[in-house]
Structure 1
Amino acid sequence: MCVLLSFVKVLILLIILSFSEICSTQVLESPSPSTLATYIVHLKKPHDTDFSELQDLQSWHQSFLPTETETVNPNPYLAIQKGILESASPGNLGPFNGTVQNAGPWILTVGASTIDRSFKAPLGLLNPTTLPPLVYPTTSNHTLSEFCNQRTLANVRDMVKGKVVLCQGRGGEAGIARGAEVKKYGGVAMILMNEELDGYTISAETHQWLQIKAYINSTSTPTATILYKGTQTGNSSAPIVLSFSSRGPYAAIPGILKPDIIGPGGNILGAWPSDSSFSVSSAALLKSSHPDWSPAAIKSAMMTTADVLDHEDKPILDYNYAPAELFATGAGHVNPSKANDPGLVYDIQPDDYIPYLCGFKYKDKEIKSIPESQLNYPSFSITFGSSPQVVTRTVTNVGSASSNYTVKGCFSRGSKHSIQVKPEEIVFTKLKQTATYKVTFSLDDEGYSQSAGHKLFARGSLQWISAEHGVSSPISVAFKNDDRMLLLTVSSLKP
């Protein structure tokens, strides 16, 4: 399936959908300077599932990072060279770690989060004869009917017709497809059960559907009513990371933290895919405001100004109401207003990716390879052995012509890490001036022994702070021992 999203100043959304039996790629040709596009690929339609509601997002990564035996596909570089920002969803395989896709460093990988809007529809379980009956469509002969997947309700249509249908959660197709299946066979409404892994972000919560099933089993004539209360806004706990949003890290490139950011991806009335579309729309505004910015500069501005706190000024929560890990949020939730004035950006030119690709198992005797952690990326992802790790970054001044920045680098309380930045102060005298700094990450003996004992111990961030700006980069840390990588729970801190 091919989806090409192009946002041109006025944010016109063009969606082209087509199936292809052979994987290939497309990008916009001859875009104007203010044009950005989501770079997607053609994919085979899966044989075991029907395409509906983001299903094809799960495989987009396959054409972005070629295998060791494949040649480098030139199309991503064509997009970058033409000033096209590539953006994509990380996939819908959450909430498990290591499921992120579309993880190339030239891609803006955007996870999904809630917004402060919800559509309340409380369920009432009563017995008046005027209410429609409630049914859980499971029988001994049709064991898959409780999922309400397509073609599973045909043999229980009499059970479903005219009733409110309770459908099993995970293990089925997308909610919209299942709702259509219930409607097809005469059901008047659907209640989709939440599993424990879904947390509190969608459908009926786990303990609620257990009560619903208990109610169905307790009476011979169960009934139900759903009272739609319309749109409600002002949820102070937003944003919350949605359970289905895929998490990092990406094993093939552990030196790049993914996803990059999160954006609205739940209760979106239009646009597909919703999370990355919102972020690309934001990027289009930035391109209009700063037509000379490269795709990497726009990406950097969005990452270093992302919100790490919710509307209550508390750390962003995950689907289960626990503090969200860095592998779920990336740098944080996109904030278009702040991104328009980031102060500093981490820029990457198209040719800068070539040494990175050489380090990614591509060889060229004329080019010296670099590890992905040395790419001029707006975040840090470090793999620890027993020796310190040193990385270099270059920032470009896009804020005030005359500005002084001082650095603040820290890990969470109790961490056995230390961070040293040289220089600790950067002075700019003009716009577009660049400055390079080095960061040394080290681990003391006690921290090393804790790592060997499989203990989680790190969370951190690095900020460059001036009188007008705070430029924040999250730090992800992993420990490598005997060829085994132990991934640590990390998150960025408030500037």
Structure 2
Amino acid sequence: MILLNKPSSGHTTSSSAHVLPTSNVDHPARLEILDYYFKNQSNAFASIHFRGTQYKFTPSPAVASFSSRGPSPMNGGIIKPDVLAPGVNILAASLTDVGPNPDPLATHTFNFNSGTSMAVPHVAGIAALVRSKHLGWTPSEIISAIMTTADDSASGNLIVDDHSYKTAGIYATGAGQVNPIKAMDPGLVFGLTLNDYIAYLCGLGYSDFEVQYTIGKPTSCNGVQYLTASQLNYPSIAVNLTRLATSQTVGRTVKNVGDAREDYSAKITEPVGVTIYLSTYKLQFTRLDQEVSYSINFALNGAYPSQGSDMIRRGKIVWDSGKHVVTTPIAVRFT
């Protein structure tokens, strides 16, 4: 049996358990097969050859066709998703037995599954690894370690999108594919406090009850100085530029968790049509847990983009010490 991907599934194929020999092919292959069949109906022929497990499949990693994509309608000022993690054809525990004659009493069964529910355990496992090494780190610092060490490219090329067959956008990849080894030793981390999150939620217009329900403790937005998304000390940066406001400045603070004495230099990949200015292009640390703050200015360079063009531009700031590489993903939206 040949299962043909519909257009929305793109290149993403599944390894479902079937009771007869089956091949799941992507959408481009579907078009080739149907074209061949309808041109050669009386003599059409196909065979399946099992060649064992194939390695170095390209492009890999890629954004699965079903992967969650941003921007969020509620918090579009934050790049979401944060990161990518393996979620296609993952061998995982199964509630039921699989195969031609499933055993209803089987207790140790496994199956290949796909979905964001398969990606989440990978990230949770990395968070546990980071936590086991850095017991004093806050959740936001663990998130920062995972995000700033993620890989946004594969074999030198930006990650592709299985749905469109083109380079994936920043609101599909986030910071990129998680890298557990690098996350254990990120060099620098961005931190946030519970009060920062409360100020942000209140600024989004949530009621006291909704904020309390979200954070799990009594709280009030009365008297709270609201924070916008761009004001959060988040590992990624998303800014909006308009015809009336063609520049914007945000601030960030990093904490040294690498070597006691370590210097970082900035390497900037500017979004198309945008110039980035930093208040400093070097970060110098003389002790552990030392914090340094800096500002980033985004300014339109040239004419404002016309409707129909790419209204979301990606870039990044990389702080490189020679030992640690700390990446801040950037999204500039023209609204």
TM-score of the aligned structures, taking structure 2 as reference length: 0.78
Name the residue aligned to 1:456.
310
Contact 2:190–2:253 (CA<8 Å) still a contact in 1? yes
Quote the Cα distance in structure 2 between the aligned partners of 1:226 and 1:170.
Answer: 23
Name the residue aligned to 1:246.
68
Quote the Cα distance in structure 2 between the aligned partners of 1:343 and 1:177.
Answer: 39
Quote the Cα distance in structure 2 between the aligned partners of 1:288 and 1:382.
Answer: 34
Name the residue aligned to 2:158.
315
Quote the Cα distance in structure 1 between the aligned partners of 2:45 and 2:310.
Answer: 49
Deviation at 1:232, TM superposition (A): 1.6
Shift in CA distance, 347/176, structure 1 to aligned 2, threshold 3 Å: same
Quote the Cα distance in structure 1 between the aligned partners of 2:150 and 2:4.
Answer: 37
Shift in CA distance, 166/234, structure 1 to aligned 2, threshold 3 Å: closer
Gaps of 5+ in 2: 94-112, 208-220
Name the residue aligned to 1:383.
240
Structure 1 residues 66-465: aligned runs within 5 Å:
164=1, 169=6, 183=19, 188-192=20-24, 194-195=26-27, 205-211=29-35, 213-214=37-38, 218-219=41-42, 224-235=46-57, 237-270=59-92, 273-310=117-154, 312-319=155-162, 320-362=164-206, 364-385=221-242, 386-387=244-245, 388-412=247-271, 415-444=272-301, 446-448=302-304, 451-456=305-310, 458-465=313-320
Deviation at 1:423, TM superposition (A): 2.9
Contact 1:306–1:333 (CA<8 Å) still a contact in 2? yes
Shift in CA distance, 171/341, structure 1 to aligned 2, threshold 3 Å: closer
Deviation at 1:332, TM superposition (A): 0.9
Quote the Cα distance in structure 1 between the aligned partners of 2:7 and 2:16.
Answer: 12
Deviation at 1:473, TM superposition (A): 0.8
The secondary structure found in structure 1 opposite 2:172 is helix
Shift in CA distance, 245/171, structure 1 to aligned 2, threshold 3 Å: closer
Contact 2:37–2:44 (CA<8 Å) still a contact in 1? no
Percent identity reads 36
Deviation at 1:192, TM superposition (A): 4.3
Name the residue aligned to 1:58.
none
Which fold has the larger relative contact order, with Cα–Cα distance below 8 Å and residues 6 or more apart in sequence? 2
Quote the Cα distance in structure 1 between the aligned partners of 2:31 and 2:269.
Answer: 40
Deviation at 1:316, TM superposition (A): 1.9
Quote the Cα distance in structure 2 between the aligned partners of 1:285 and 1:380.
Answer: 26
Gaps of 5+ in 1: 1-163, 197-204, 481-495
How many residue pairs are counted as aligned between the two chains? 294
Contact 1:194–1:209 (CA<8 Å) still a contact in 2? no
The AA in structure 2 aligned to 1:284 is A
Quote the Cα distance in structure 1 between the aligned partners of 2:275 and 2:143.
Answer: 28
Quote the Cα distance in structure 1 between the aligned partners of 2:309 and 2:8.
Answer: 33
The secondary structure found in structure 1 opposite 2:326 is strand
Name the residue aligned to 2:110.
none
Contact 2:315–2:330 (CA<8 Å) still a contact in 1? yes
Quote the Cα distance in structure 2 between the aligned partners of 1:432 and 1:315.
Answer: 33
- Alpha-carbon RMSD: 2.8
Deviation at 1:402, TM superposition (A): 1.1
Quote the Cα distance in structure 2 between the aligned partners of 1:350 and 1:214.
Answer: 62
TM-score of the aligned structures, taking structure 1 as reference length: 0.54
